[in-house]
Chains A and B, each alone.
Chain A
Amino acid sequence: MDELELLKKDWNKNGDKYPKLSYDEIYKMILKKSSSIVKWIFIISLLEFVFWGIISIALKDTESMQRFKNYDADKIIIPLTIFGYIILAYFFYLFFKNYKTISVTDSAKVLMENILKTRRTVKKYVAFNLIYLVFSTIVVLFIEFDKDAELINQVEQASANGEVFKFYAIIIITTLLLLAVAVGVLLLFYWLVYGLLLGRLNKNYKELKKLEV
């Protein structure tokens, strides 16, 4: 192809076509901070860990949780809490291990894979939290129905009026709605942040993968 040869010739005789940065200019550059997507993914991932950490701590001190202590439900709540922390530690370890393997000197494909792996770890952690949230809510509801005097009273009243089904339906629907809102907000967050951050990487990764088929 003649044109390509022509291009190659022009490409390589570029002597003073480019800006020539001085030693000092380059030196100043190495002192600046990177704004690469890896850095952003790292920051956002840490924020996600912090976010879920704050949520679990915040829930612990609420009035209903304090009331919970009186229910003698420790044998359920303590294992659940410990389990939550073990999983958190595990994901934290995985995240850092993956993050450390990201190296700009790998081949393009390996680099992309490692970034996506790091990102997937955090995604799994959030998925775990959502499942954990749903599961805990169900457990808490059961305990409440079993122990909360006021609630038991209400249930009895409802069944006396023949509205026990309606009563349960309202509680279940409200709970589901709240959970759906929480999940919805998180999904929106993901769609926005990671869509912006990883759109290009995903596109290029697909392009590279296509070559292997």
Chain B
Amino acid sequence: MKKELEHNFVELLEKHQNIVHKVCRLYTNNQDAHNDLFQEITIQLWKAYPKFRGDSKFSTWMYRVGLNTAITLYRKNKRRIKTEEFDAFQYKISAEAYDDSEEHQLKLMYKAVRQLNDIDKALIFLYLEDKSYKEISETMGISEVNARVKMNRIKTKLKTILNP
């Protein structure tokens, strides 16, 4: 019974692992921290899995557990951000962009997003993942109206970071 549960879980997570990687990308600055957070999210997902009923999509459920772990449960690495590592990581992110100016813009955008606080990052993340305001509000535990207002503020904040 337990073996079957383990098997189902690992298979599902293997399939949807990008969601977790995306959360890690947003909340960590180097590969070590990324792996560390991935590990913790995996454990939290696994611990909560027996209660997963399947009435929501596995991926939807993953967003919640992943963000909760990143924002609340995870203790940040004591290691401060190292610039070289940070840049290397950044570069990898936008390596696929083809247009020079577009690449530059993207680089700035990612940098700006990284400067946001934990909560703002979570909202932006859900926005980038094309989640509805209803889902955003349920994941964060705030009202839909407040989610919208907050989202607009974050957009303004990003604008100011980009065009100081």
Chain A residues proximal to chain B, CB less than 8 Å: 1, 3-4, 6-8, 10-14, 17-23, 26-27, 29-30, 32-38, 40, 103-112, 115, 197, 200-201, 203-204, 207-208, 211-212
Contact = CB atoms under 8 A, between A and B. Distances in A.
Contacts of B25: 18
Contacts of A17: 92-93, 95-96
A212 B96 contact: no
Contact of A34 (B44, B71, B128, B130): B44
B146 interface: yes
Contacts of B143: 212
Contacts of B150: 211
A107 B140 contact: yes
A148 B40 CA distance: 59
Interface of B: 6, 9-11, 13-14, 17-18, 21-22, 25, 38-40, 42-44, 46-48, 51-52, 61, 64-65, 67-69, 71-76, 92-97, 102, 105-106, 108-110, 113, 117-119, 122, 127-130, 138-143, 146, 149-150, 155, 158-159, 162
Contacts of A112: 72
B133 to A, nearest CB: 13
B21 A23 contact: no
Contact of A33 (B43, B65, B94): B43
A185 to B, nearest CB: 24
A104 B128 contact: no
Nearest 10 A-B pairs (CB), nearest first? A109-B141, A107-B141, A36-B73, A18-B21, A30-B46, A207-B119, A29-B42, A11-B128, A7-B109, A34-B43
18 contacts: A6-B102, A6-B105, A7-B110, A8-B127, A8-B128, A17-B92, A17-B95, A21-B17, A34-B43, A34-B47, A36-B43, A37-B72, A105-B52, A105-B64, A107-B139, A108-B72, A200-B75, A208-B141
A4 B154 CA distance: 11
Given A211-B146, A212-B146, A108 B141 contact: yes
A35 B76 CA distance: 11
Contacts of B96: 10, 13, 17
B48 A104 contact: yes
A103 B74 CA distance: 14
Contacts of A33: 43
A193 to B, nearest CB: 12
A208 B119 contact: yes
Contacts of A3: 105, 108-109, 158, 162
A6 B109 contact: yes
